[in-house]
Amino acid sequence: MNCQQYEELMMKHFDRIASDNEITVLKKHLEKCSQCRYQFEQLESIIGSLEKDFEPEIPAEFEANVMIKIDRYENTKNSSQIKTNSILAVMMGLILFIPPAFIIIDFENISIYEILMGFFPSLSFFSDILLVVLSVIKLMGGYISGNNELSSMMQYVGPAIIFITVFISISMFIHKVDNNL
Amino acid sequence: MESTDIEIINQCINGDPEAFTMIVTRYKKLIYSVVINMVQDIHEVDDAAQEAFLKIYKSLDQFNPEYKFSTWAVKITTNLCIDRMKRKQPKFVHLDEVKELQSNSDSPESLLIKKEKRRSINNALQALPEKYKIPLILFHQSGLSYEEMADVMNEPMTIVKNRLHRARLMLRERLQVDRKE
């Protein structure tokens, strides 16, 4: 065996997989070869230092700090889920609400001025929001019906908006179900 | 009887994050030993180790019970440390701030010599390219086997073995150069 091969034996020794016989063979060579002995002693010292002379001090509060981070993560995850659920609920509500609203509300008898003037002192918040939304729709409807080009496009916009809203809602619902699974 | 890793993981996945404390206690020394040699700024070691556990927690549903949990956890930690090293400028660990194993039989002089030796080894270790530094840390500091290292590094065992052997020789050469300087 040459020194290169004894170097491989050294590596097996430091890997802790050398057999007793191999260690004996290596030690015999090291007694005779000063170069290999020097190399072996240096490596032994370096590896010994890497493995034994150093132990990090872990702070006593380490576990507690990790659990705080995990609690924060869990809280953030829960509030994101609540937000997603709320958005889904609003979108489903709009899909269900808008078409009947167009059918039920009599636009001819709504006065925009009266609605706006009535909004600010009113305490029935959600009803007023609804009326403002409807009056904006009426304003837009009035503008669009006066414009022939826009009027002809409107027949496509409505169904397209509904389709996109349904698609997004279903995608979000499926994504949410996947996450829970 | 102590719960197994997989039992604790199932508890966490089923809505009991507090059970993760047992995992942290069990593996904090292992994770810390990986982090402290890869994250070179001592002030960041604690934060990086906590972040490693948080990442492990977030990934629990991806753990394959066919594999050893410790290997999987070290893999996540190693990748996290590599990402952190890429983002930050390297600075050497200040060994003064890290507690060292003190033997009752060590005189102040031998402690100082040990400390200096450890400092120079650590500096030489940090100067090694990542692909050689990591196997040294994982084998000699974190106590992983070749199979585990191959799994962590996503490399065949023969390559891991060659790199570890090469790393030892490089470390020795580096220290010889430093001594001459």
Contacts of B49 in chain A (CB under 8 A): 58, 62
Could you tell me if B136 lies within 8 Å of chain A, comparing CB atoms?
Answer: yes
What is the total count of domains within chain B? 2
Q: Quickly list DSSP for A28-59.
A: HHHHH-HHHHHHHHHHHHHHHHHHHS--PPPP
Closest chain B residue by Cα to residue A12: B165
CATH number at residue B112: 1.10.10.10
Q: Can you give the residue ranges of every domain in chain A? A: 3-52, 80-180
- B76 lies in some domain: yes
User: Same domain, yes or no, for B69 and B125?
Assistant: no
CA distance A149 to A56: 75
Per-residue confidence (pLDDT) for residue A64, from 0 to 100:
93
- B99 lies in some domain: no
Contacts of A57 in chain B (CB under 8 A): 98-99
Closest chain A residue by Cα to residue B165: A11
- B100 lies in some domain: no
B68, B93, B118 — which closes off a domain? B93
User: CA angle B181-B136-B152, nearest 5°?
Assistant: 150
- B159 lies in some domain: yes
User: Same domain, yes or no, for B82 and B110?
Assistant: no
- B101 lies in some domain: no
Which residues of chain A register pLDDT less than 50? Answer: 122-123, 181
Per-residue confidence (pLDDT) for residue A12, from 0 to 100:
92
Per-residue confidence (pLDDT) for residue A55, from 0 to 100:
67
- Domain residues for the domain of B5 are 1-93
User: Same domain, yes or no, for B13 and B77?
Assistant: yes
- B66 lies in some domain: yes
Does pLDDT of B9 surpass 70?
Answer: yes
Per-residue confidence (pLDDT) for residue A79, from 0 to 100:
77
CA distance B100 to chain A (A): 5
The residues of A whose Cβ lies within 8 A of any Cβ of B are 8, 11, 14-15, 39, 42-43, 45-47, 49-59, 62-63, 65-67, 69-71, 73-74
Per-residue confidence (pLDDT) for residue B57, from 0 to 100:
95
Per-residue confidence (pLDDT) for residue B96, from 0 to 100:
44
Per-residue confidence (pLDDT) for residue A168, from 0 to 100:
83
Closest chain B residue by Cα to residue A65: B50
- B13 lies in some domain: yes
User: Same domain, yes or no, for B157 and B120?
Assistant: yes
- Placement of tokens 């952190």 in the chain: B84
Token digits for B98? 């890290």
Per-residue confidence (pLDDT) for residue A126, from 0 to 100:
64
Contact check, Cβ <8 Å, A73/B57: yes
User: Same domain, yes or no, for B39 and B66?
Assistant: yes
pLDDT tens digits along B82-114: 888 777 655 444 444 444 444 445 677 777 777
Contacts of A11 in chain B (CB under 8 A): 164-165, 168
Q: Which of A54, A77, A80 to mutate to test the interface with B (most CBs of B within 10 A)?
A: A54
User: Same domain, yes or no, for B73 and B33?
Assistant: yes
- B135 lies in some domain: yes
B93, B125, B157 — which closes off a domain? B93
User: Same domain, yes or no, for B163 and B88?
Assistant: no
Per-residue confidence (pLDDT) for residue B74, from 0 to 100:
92
pLDDT tens digits along B114-159: 778 888 888 888 889 989 999 999 999 888 899 999 999 999 999 9
Q: How many Cβ contacts (< 8 angstroms) between chains A and B?
A: 95
Contact check, Cβ <8 Å, B50/A69: yes
Contacts of B51 in chain A (CB under 8 A): 69
User: Same domain, yes or no, for B18 and B74?
Assistant: yes
User: Same domain, yes or no, for B75 and B117?
Assistant: no
B60, B93, B126 — which closes off a domain? B93
Q: Which of A50, A76, A179 to mutate to test the interface with B (most CBs of B within 10 A)?
A: A50
Contacts of B99 in chain A (CB under 8 A): 55-57
Q: Quickly list DSSP for chain A.
A: --HHHHHHHHHHHHTT---HHHHHHHHHHHHH-HHHHHHHHHHHHHHHHHHHS--PPPPTTHHHHHHHHHHHHHHHHHHHHHHHHHHHHHHHHHHHHHHHHHHH--GGG--HHHHHHHHTT---HHHHHHHHHHHHHHHHHHHHHT-HHHHHHHHHHHHHHHHHHHHHHHHHHHHHHHHH-
